[in-house]
Amino acid sequence: MPELPEVETVARGLQRYVVGRRIISITLGKTDFIDNPAEIEHELPGRTIRSVERYGKFLLLRLTPKEDAGDRACESALLVHLGMTGMLRPHPAGQPHAKHTHVVASLDDGRELRYTDPRRFGRMAYLEGEALREELRRFGADPLEAGLEEFRARIRGKRARIKALLLDQKVLRGVGNIYADESLWKAKIHPKRLGARLRLEEVEGLYRALQGILQRAIVMRGSSIADFVDAEGQPGEYQRQHRAYGREGKACFRCKTRIRRVIVAGRSSYFCPRCQRAPRDGKSESRAKQGFGARHQKGRRASNAG
DNA sequence: CTCGATCCCTGGACGC
DNA sequence: TGCGTCCAGGGATCGA
């Protein structure tokens, strides 16, 4: 469940150890989560890691060009998505491999950068040039960089449920289930509310709640609910601050009402039924199926993406 | 455009 | 102790 704060924590920890290090060799284990394993093996050795950045939930390791690239040199990077259980950490070269170690990059300082991931929900890809830029363009705004205006436009322009919008990486990059629920609780917005139907004050409240929570979570080095640890193997502390996520049946910190759990956008969503009022519109409260609710938009072949 | 369902995958919790 | 079952969930994909 590494989301923005966890990935930011890992990126910062990794920076100290791997920036400026040259990759000597790559050893692969299971590769079904890697876009193009042969390319990883072929392209990475010989390159130096220039920087480690967070991009949404991705770690972005920017690399130097190959020495013989000449004027064909272009931007290149290793993208790493930690999925649910992925971890990228430096280890001393001699240390025995942990279970589920699938990628080992030997570095020029005697360390190894190892990727472990029991469930392999993660993703790894080497990308360069236009392919890299194109991949990065697929994602929406960084919630910490977006201004209120942009945030408002991205939320109010959509008819989807607010929870689905927060989770949609094309709308905002980096928010996952935990921080979506936490920010909706803080802003007192029910997860099934439609983005387009939020009042302006509500959108602004959500914007501030989300930014505040993400920033605070970064300071506390993320949430460790399963077995998340940072680049140094340390767990985060933000799970102690959770107000909604994982608290089904427990008392709301504001009003003592029991926190409830419903499925929204296919994910468990924790909320306070008193602080976060359910929407009135029939379609968002799931039940309404047949009868007067069914409106078919016939003959509307809207030209998308104009 | 938006939805839900399904799949991927393994470890941990739980019931018997 | 051990086995079976269910669940967790980010993202891709597909059909409605």
Q: Residue A302: pLDDT band by 50, 70, 90 thresholds?
A: very low
Which tens digit of pLDDT belongs to each residue from A49-106?
A: 999 999 999 999 999 998 887 777 889 999 999 988 889 999 999 888 888 899 999 9
From the candidates A22, A123, A261, A267, which is the catalytic residue?
A: A267
Is residue A2 annotated as a catalytic residue, yes or no? Answer: yes
Which tens digit of pLDDT belongs to each residue from A125-156?
A: 999 999 999 899 889 999 999 999 999 999 99
From the candidates A21, A57, A192, A193, which is the catalytic residue?
A: A57
3-state secondary structure chain A: CCCHHHHHHHHHHHHHHHCCCEEEEEEECCCCCECCHHHHHHHCCCCEEEEEEEECCEEEEEECCCCCCHHHCCCEEEEEECCCCCEEEEEECCCCCCCCEEEEEEECCCEEEEEECCCCCCEEEEEEHHHHHHHHHCCCECCCCCCHHHHHHHHHCCCCEHHHHHHCCCCECCCCHHHHHHHHHHCCCCCCCEHHHCCHHHHHHHHHHHHHHHHHHHHCCCCCCCCCCCCCCCCCCHHHHCCCCCCCCCECCCCCCECEEEEECCEEEEECCCCCCCCCCHHHHCCCCCHHHCCCCCCCCCCCCC
For the ranges A61-65, A210-214, A232-236, which has the lowest average pLDDT? A232-236
Is residue A186 annotated as a catalytic residue, yes or no? Answer: no
CA/C1' separation A176–C12 (Å): 16
Could you say which residues 250-289 of protein chain A have a Cβ atom less than 7 A away from any atom in strand B? 264-266, 286
Is residue A3 annotated as a catalytic residue, yes or no? Answer: yes
Is residue A57 annotated as a catalytic residue, yes or no? Answer: yes
Confidence at residue A85, expressed as pLDDT on a 0 to 100 scale: 86
Residue nearest to nucleotide B10 (CA to C1'): A119
Statement: the CB of A161 is under 7 Å from strand B: yes
